[in-house]
Structure 1
């Protein structure tokens, strides 16, 4: 079983890519019991250095290269999901009903519905532009905006597709990079991933078969409880 470990040597993007492909789901920070996280496998001094060993840069390199989907898919926490696993993960974590149907049935928020429509029209839209188009730039609307993004990621309707530099009126970089979003369906099409056409139960069985050889019992118990 692959579990938490204290990094003894530099952990590279290639190491992370191999691990994600092997275990399917890798949180950025410790989240799943007896299960590795990117934080636990890398050196603290490598984070936010803008170098090849900076895991903060990898989080958008993975979806950019089509190796893994990235988003706050589990308990509002950021995780990487291997491309092979993602169609099955989406079938289990998501919802077979359309978002409009869920919204009309009172199962989704108005803010999330509005934001999803904007993302669908502007695949890869960055956060600042998204807030503006959703008319949620006001400080008092930030919590509702963040909650809507978490809702859409938790239901695997959208993914984080990358980051874009914030530019001022002159085109010069101004401040921190801004996260960009696209629909999960669009990311899958762009990276050549076919959606899973079976049932949620069939997807869960596929995931269970892949997890059993490489996940700890505690980790499997945790995620199955989450998906119950």
Structure 2
């Protein structure tokens, strides 16, 4: 789509063109085949949904042939991530390639770690804090509850776009709003969610063991393979959007983290009965010398151990339907806690921790209490 002398022009193909995507399933299959795809035309010729569909069917309102309607169906399908991923504009990323983009755009930082390293803005945190307690939120509610709008914070669209570019948020669905009577009204609007909520933390972060640069090179190489005419500068422009997060994390000062452990998959309750040091799945952003407080999930639901990280980046390859591990770290036991000392309820009520899905930094008051 391009504005030429005040007129918007759509680019595309004829219905009988062999490259034409005629149904939403055609589009889903193609996105899964190529891995990722912008919604609209960009600098790389042919690399968009727009350029592989019939221009006259856009915004016709018929979900059978309207690509604008398809984006809603694709977003709610759970097969493909949808959001403003490319040059601050909308696009799709297949489930297979999502971990590459997450690692590349985040540079291996979960949002909590990004905030702890002072690389996230206060406005971003006000939005992301909402998703600690809820899995999905209407876009208008995110804006209101994060304090944007009249008399409040400015620049909501820019902030939420940047969070999508970094893959911390995506559009899970488009739905009509409800009035006080519970009746639907108006046009469907975006419903935001964290990718981890849709596809699971372990899957989304499964490329964290490699560097951001390695993931970026894999994405670039894939584009070159499927679109050989794309130049290096065109690819760089398309993939830009996360800002520079790169930092020498391996030389920073030691940090403290809470990491989750699920007793359904590993007997963490008795892990240190016969050893003071064990191997554990490496957490994003954690380096040798850091301190990790191990939170054991239900039925314990409490912090049980304080450990020091003695080694990281140990190669490991494991995957099943519940867990993916690409690297290990060694953790040494320093302290045990009674099960009633730091329960989930205490963490929530006293320290504002509403969920522990992955490694996260801790506030000073909790650090002092744990010591």
| Shorter-chain TM band | 0.7 to 0.9
Find the aligned partners of 1:38 and 1:120 in 2 and give their Cα distance. Answer: 33
Are the aligned partners of 2:139 and 2:191 in contact in 1 as well (CA < 8 Å)? yes
2:165 pairs, out of 154, 173, 176, with 154
**Higher share of residues assigned helix:** 1
**Corresponding residue for residue 63 of structure 1:** 75
Matched residue count:
223
TM-score, normalised with respect to structure 2? 0.54
Equivalent residue number for residue 204 of structure 1 = 216
- Higher relative CO (Cα under 8 Å, sequence separation at least 6) belongs to 1
> What secondary structure, in the 3-state scheme, does the structure 1 residue paired with 2:114 have?
helix
Give 3-state SS (helix, strand or coil) of 2:93's partner. strand
Deviation for aligned residue 1:83: 1.3
**Alpha-carbon distance between aligned partners in 2 of 1:218 and 1:122, rounded to the nearest angstrom:** 40
Aligned twin of 1:167: 178
Q: Which ranges of structure 2 fall in alignment gaps of 5 or more residues?
A: 1-9, 16-20, 245-371
Tell me which protein shows more strand as a share of its residues: 2
| Residue aligning to 2:24 | 13
| Structure 2 CA distance for aligned equivalents of residues 161 and 220 of structure 1 | 31
Deviation of 1:193 (Å): 6.1
CA contact (8 A) 2:102 2:205 kept: no
Stretch of structure 1 that moved more, 174-183 or 99-108 = 99-108
Measure, in 2, the Cα distance between the counterparts of 1:220 and 1:5: 23
Q: 94-103 or 12-21, which moves further after superposition?
A: 94-103
For 1:223, the equivalent position in structure 2 comes to 235
Deviation for aligned residue 1:219: 5.2
> Match of 2:85?
73
Q: CA deviation at 1:77?
A: 0.5
Task: Specify which of 92, 98, 109 is matched with residue 97 of structure 1.
Answer: 109
Which of 1 and 2 has greater Rg? 2
Change (3 A) 1:75 1:120: farther
